[in-house]
């Protein structure tokens, strides 16, 4: 089967990612940087020479976040701090033995729109997706009717076909084509972000709750828009009553309204927690050998288990991208289902 959605993916990708990036970073300054961490963060870019950095960080010896690089020679850092440093977003792209790149701090009014590690990873992911999508689209377009796709085009087609048939068609049913570009985009974007976190010097942008919240917000907006479009205002309100008797409406309507918001919330937490937890586990396993200061533990426990969890993470990267897409499709399907009184799910899975 030919993939028709490729130009659409590309067309959708750019505005989607741009808005994503803006939303992900538009966190009020006060929230993004707790007060006790703000001081060294302001000091660090101003102090240019190593001696200045050293002097500036000595009085605030407790705040390890900014002082970590400068003070690494002085004392041992706690394992927990190092793990959090790796998982958290920061303004530094670290290439550890070779040095690091300081990213610019930007501010728009009261909003901190600095380019951070995760923003860079989002940009890399979008560039990778644009290149891969264009290459795959071109390789499929070149084929004549009798040729089977091969190489990159084949891989991408298999995934796109899977999303179309097993995710979109079976969960949304009638009119799934409209939502296909969004679902495919979100799948490949999450997958790329997840995988970028597993390569050396990479960071997991999807391990940042701002990014996952933005993605979930998109699903929420798409779901609501689709429901209004499909059912109309009257049908939408009727949907909120879940087809129950009028005496139950006082309970059902608030529950259904809350239900609309729990869905994106669950999507947010699921992706964020899965991606963060995997990285914390890998780092914890590595740190076991540092805490016990033993080569035997490193060889027998840390390395094999870390590799095992890494491979599991590789699976989880695909699984979570799939689950996010699948649940997005399911929510769209549930919201647009024309049900009169009984089960949402029957209706949603009934169309094939």
- Is 176:169 a contact under the CB 8 Å cutoff? yes
Closest CB to another protein among 107 and 165?
165
For 49-85, b where at least 16 C-beta lie within 10 A, e where not — what string?
A: eeeebeebbeebeebbbbbbebbeeeeeeeeeebbeb
What's the closest the beta carbon of residue 72 comes to another protein, in angstroms? 22
Q: Closest distance between another protein and the C-beta of residue 7, in Å? A: 29
Residues facing residue 27 across a β-bridge? 112
What residue ranges bind another protein (CB under 8 A)?
84, 166, 170, 266, 269-270, 273-274, 277, 322-323, 326-327, 330, 349
Order of strands across the sheet that contains 107-108: 27-28, 111-112, 107-108
Q: How far is the CB of 46 from another protein (least distance, A)?
A: 29
Long-range contacts made by residues 160-169, C-beta under 8 angstroms, separation at least 24? 160/3, 160/5, 160/6, 160/184, 161/1, 161/3, 163/187, 163/325, 164/5, 167/322, 167/325, 167/326, 167/329, 168/329, 169/351, 169/352
Measured from the CB of residue 326, what is the shortest distance to another protein in angstroms?
A: 7
Nearer to another protein by C-beta: 161 or 166? Answer: 166
CB atoms within 10 A of CB 5: 19
> In the complex with another protein, which residue's Cβ is closer, 235 or 343?
343
Q: Which is nearer to another protein, 17 or 327 (CB)?
A: 327
- Least CB distance from residue 169 to another protein, whole Å? 11
Tell the smallest beta-carbon distance from residue 108 to another protein (Å). 29
Question: Of the two residues 38 and 323, which places its CB atom closer to another protein in the complex?
Answer: 323
Distances (CA, A) of 280 to 67, 85, 175, 273, 306: 22, 11, 41, 10, 11
- Which residues pair with residue 99 across a beta bridge? 95
Give the separation between CA 179 and CA 188, rounded to whole angstroms.
15
Instruction: Rank residues 37 and 52 by Cβ distance to another protein and give the closer one.
Output: 37
Sign of the dihedral defined by the CA atoms of residues 56, 58, 64, 69, in that order: positive
Give the C-alpha separation, 233 to 225, whole Å. 11
SS3 301: helix
| CB 209 to another protein: min, Å | 9
Question: What is the nearest approach in angstroms of another protein to the Cβ of residue 32?
Answer: 16
Nearest residue (CB) to another protein, 127 versus 158: 158
Which of 113/271 has CB closer to another protein? Answer: 271
Q: Which of 188/331 has CB closer to another protein? A: 331
How far is Cα 103 from Cα 114, in angstroms, rounded to an integer? 8
**Integer Cα distance of 75 and 77 in angstroms:** 6
CB of 257 to another protein, least distance (A): 19
């Amino acid at each position: 089967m030919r993939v028709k959605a490729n130009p659409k993916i590309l067309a959708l990708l750019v505005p989607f990612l741009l808005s994503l990036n803006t939303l992900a970073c538009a966190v009020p300054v006060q929230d993004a940087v707790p007060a006790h961490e703000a001081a060294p963060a302001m000091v660090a870019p101003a102090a240019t020479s190593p001696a200045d950095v050293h002097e500036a960080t000595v009085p605030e010896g407790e705040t390890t976040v900014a002082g970590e690089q400068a003070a690494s020679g002085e004392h041992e850092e706690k394992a927990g701090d190092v793990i959090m440093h790796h998982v958290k977003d920061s303004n530094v792209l670290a290439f550890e033995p070779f040095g690091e790149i300081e990213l610019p701090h930007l501010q728009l009014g009261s909003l901190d729109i600095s380019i951070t590690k995760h923003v860079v990873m989002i940009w890399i992911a979008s560039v990778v997706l644009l290149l891969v999508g264009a290459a795959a689209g071109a390789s499929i377009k070149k084929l004549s009717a009798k040729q089977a796709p091969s190489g990159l085009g084949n891989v991408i087609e298999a995934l796109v076909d899977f999303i179309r048939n097993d995710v979109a068609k079976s969960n949304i049913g009638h009119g799934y084509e409209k939502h296909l570009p969004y679902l495919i985009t979100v799948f490949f974007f999450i997958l790329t972000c997840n995988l970028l976190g597993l390569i050396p010097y990479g960071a997991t942008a999807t391990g940042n709750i701002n990014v996952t919240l933005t993605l979930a917000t998109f699903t929420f907006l798409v779901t609501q828009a689709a429901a209004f479009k499909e059912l109309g205002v009257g049908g939408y309100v009727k949907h909120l009553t879940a087809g129950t008797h009028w005496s139950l409406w006082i309970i059902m309507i608030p529950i259904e309204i809350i239900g609309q918001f729990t869905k994106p919330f669950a999507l947010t937490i699921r992706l964020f927690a899965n991606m963060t937890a995997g990285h914390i586990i890998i780092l914890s396993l590595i740190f076991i050998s540092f805490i016990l200061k033993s080569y035997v533990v490193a060889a027998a426990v840390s390395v094999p288990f870390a590799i095992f969890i890494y491979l599991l993470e590789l699976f989880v990267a695909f699984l979570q991208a799939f689950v996010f897409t699948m649940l997005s499709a399911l929510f769209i399907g549930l919201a647009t289902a024309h049900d009169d009184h009984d089960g949402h799910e029957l209706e949603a899975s009934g169309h094939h």
